[in-house]
Structure 1
Amino acid sequence: MGTCVRLFRRLRGGIWLAVGLAATACPVSARSPVVVELFTSQGCASCVKAGELVADLAARPRIIALTFDVDYWDYLGWQDTFARSEFADRQRAYLKPLGVHDVYTPEVVVNGRRETPAVDPQAVDKLIQDAQHGVQDPPQIIVRKKTLAVGAGPAPKGGGEVWLIRYDPREQSVAVKKGETRGAVVVERNVVRELIRLGAWRGRPKTFRLPETEDASLTSVALVQGAHGGAIIAARKLQ
């Protein structure tokens, strides 16, 4: 995220005082990390090996790789153990902006701007390379113990949204016992467990309260994104 700096407040007499010692701001004259979202399902035969892609991406610097398990294939006989309806809703929100006719798996969405089937690693790499030369100078994301602040910056057309995503960075192995993928062991990484919309952002500095989680092992990510499935303009892992 670039060099992190402490925030300072100017007092009378030209004295500068450090404030918010638990807070850091990563000014991103450098670009934000590339966000790669995999939409997948344990019950989808084409998705069994999709987790290998996320495992590879998770090991690369300046990439935030996320696995969203969707529930619309559950009717095939296997109830995906990580799926939530809101994850499928997030994928559907991308349909119109990305010009996709219908949801499918395994799908990769890069920075909310472009998508490709996850079965084509070369196409995924090309989208990531293109994204690394994308938007510069995104708004700062400033983290304190219980709050998250987004700095000023150009807002997307139609306004922006701030999202909090919490995922499990550990490898997850699931033995599928029913349905199309019966007998397969599906291995997943960076499985999203919580997807929370913190609120709207319209280009002016704004602070949001961070909700607590009962699972301290989860890793948190904040995204600033165009509304209704728009492009991601800033991202940061929260420490």
Structure 2
Amino acid sequence: MTRLASVGQLFLMGALAVTCASGGNTLAAPANEKTSVVELFSSQGCSLCPPAHRILQQLSRRPGIVVLSFPVNYWDYLGWKDTLARPEYGERQRNYAALLTKGEVFTPLAVVNGMRNCVGSDLAAIETAIRSTSTSLTSQSVPLSVHREDGNLHIEVGDSDAPPRHRSGKLWVATVLRSRSEKIGAGDNAGQMVTYTNVVRRLTDAGDWQGAPASYSLPLDALSKDGDMLVVFLQTGKLGPILAATLVDIDFNRN
């Protein structure tokens, strides 16, 4: 069954893929296409999470969809410590919960485009959320381009020919492993092998955005090297509608 807890209980407990083939290539999603982002919050101790990961893998194969898997650790007390979870991912989910679920935090939870939440093992609900949020965000999409040069990741956000439409936002860079399998040793999923898709190993705050065209530069060495891909995405506020997203293949051994 779905694991469910309130925010208070938890505190008491303690999109379209673009590939970078060479150093100077510029990466950008087509201006007329909105890339949808599906974030999955899951736990290895949750019985409904393995089906949710299979759904996430299925969604990742569809054009125009970027998926991110955020393993959380707040169910570790049940007897199995999640091998990939990080406390900050649970914090991200709690912040979403304050906005979207009246404080309820559960797994598996899917958040679509930063706007809609649904049970992560319900494909039909996720597809409905993708359609509804993509429609409302079509006129709000923001150009986003990425290229690497001299050991740095350079990101351009916004269009100088278009007036600012948003007051503020934040640019995120997620370092991910595109596929990772983990065998669960105890709990509801004991003995199962779970395959993660685009599992986040580090989420980097690349800087604030004030609605106008802006440039960002991050040294690749500052990004975690335990991933094989980056997801760059622009989100209004601290957590809100996601206006743009791009997948970037990176060989961390190259400058």
Task: Tell me the TM-score normalised to structure 2 length.
Answer: 0.78
Q: Are residue 183 (structure 1) and residue 191 (structure 2) matched? A: yes
Indicate conservation of the 8 Å contact 1:29/1:136, yes or no: no
Letter in 1 for 2:125: A
Aligned to 1:150: 157
- Distance across 1 between alignment mates of 2:101 and 2:50: 26
The 5 Å alignment of 1:1-239 reads 22=24, 24=26, 26=28, 28-136=30-138, 138-145=141-148, 146=152, 147-152=154-159, 154=164, 156-157=166-167, 159-170=168-179, 172-212=180-220, 213=223, 215=225, 218-239=228-249
Larger proportion of helix = 2
- Distance across 1 between alignment mates of 2:102 and 2:119: 12
Letter in 1 for 2:213: P
Uncovered stretches (5+) of structure 1, i.e. residues with no partner: 5-20
**RMSD of equivalent CA atoms:** 2.4
What per-residue deviation string (whole Å, max 9, x for no partner) do you get for residues 149-208 of structure 1?
212463545x200000121112x2222112332222222222111111111101122222
SS at match of 1:189: strand
Letter in 2 for 1:186: V
Letter in 1 for 2:178: P
Q: Percent identity?
A: 34
Indicate conservation of the 8 Å contact 1:44/1:180, yes or no: yes
Uncovered stretches (5+) of structure 2, i.e. residues with no partner: 1-14, 250-255
Task: Tell me the TM-score normalised to structure 1 length.
Answer: 0.83
What per-residue deviation string (whole Å, max 9, x for no partner) do you get for residues 97-140 of structure 1?
22432211001100001010012211111111223323235222
**Larger Rg belongs to:** 1
Does 211-220 or 75-84 show the bigger shift? 211-220
Indicate conservation of the 8 Å contact 2:31/2:143, yes or no: no
Q: 1:238 and 1:215, CA in 2 relative to 1: closer, same or farther beyond 3 A?
A: same
SS at match of 2:74: coil
Q: 1:104 and 1:27, CA in 2 relative to 1: closer, same or farther beyond 3 A?
A: closer
